Amino acid sequence: MFGDGMDDNTKAVGQSEVVSWWRLHRRLYNWVVHWADTRFGVPALIVLALTEPICVPIPADVMVIGLCLGKPRRSIRYGLTCAFFSVLGGTIAFSLGLAIGPDRVVDLFTTVGFGSKAQFALELYQRYDFWAIAISALTPVPYMIFSWVGGMAEVSLVKFVVISVVFRTMRFGSEALLFYFVGKRARALIEKYFNLATIVFIILLAIVVYLIKWLGHIFAG
């Protein structure tokens, strides 16, 4: 189901026809990691990295981490590829935001439930343009919204691209370096203690969400 390059444990899970609800997260993990064993891994990464800043609210980190876990020795290649196409996608979204105009873009994000976030991003740009770009490029704050809103706020395109290149490369490059050095051991530990790893991930995700809200209150103040 997932390709010939997977280990026996992964195949055993992947071949199950019926999966209990509490094992769906394991199936999702297997599905993401399996891309490294196919010739479509890098194209899939490129597509997600390019479209995330435009219209896909799924962090490209998911694919980067999955590919790096699958093929740790190629991690740096995956990280740099993701950074390049993510900035390209952000530049496209920036240009669309500039062309469409602020009122229409806010209305567009309102229809999908992100209107308040788009308005908040616009206010951040007007007060802290450098940090607005840097934080969205480096942290889990939606880069998609800040890419579109950057054009709305008429921030310098050169500034947006340069800052994005630096901080997107830091983000995906640091992930790539981490898995380059510890990828095999990390995968072995994750698969051996998968349920514990899942709990730790959820806790870390909750911490990240809290920090994002905390940063938002700081900037808003």
Q: What is the pLDDT along the chain (221 residues), one digit of tens a residue?
A: 334 444 444 444 444 444 444 466 566 666 677 777 888 999 999 999 999 999 887 888 888 888 888 889 999 999 999 999 999 999 999 999 888 877 777 777 777 677 777 777 777 787 888 888 888 888 767 888 889 888 888 888 999 999 999 999 999 998 899 888 887 777 676 666 556 655 665 666 566 656 656 655 555 45
97/153 Cα distance (integer angstroms)? 9
CB atoms under 10 Å from CB of 107, counted, come to 13
Residue 164, in any domain of the structure: yes
Residue 37, in any domain of the structure: yes
At 59, list the tokens: 């962090």
Residue 104, in any domain of the structure: yes
- Sign for the CA dihedral angle at 103, 106, 112, 115 comes to negative
Residue 159, in any domain of the structure: yes
Residue 137, in any domain of the structure: yes
Residue 3, in any domain of the structure: no
| Residue that the structure tokens 């509490």 belong to | 22
Domain extent for 107: 19-220
| Residue that the structure tokens 């602020």 belong to | 102
Q: Structurally, how many domains does the chain consist of?
A: 1
Residue 5, in any domain of the structure: no
Residue 7, in any domain of the structure: no
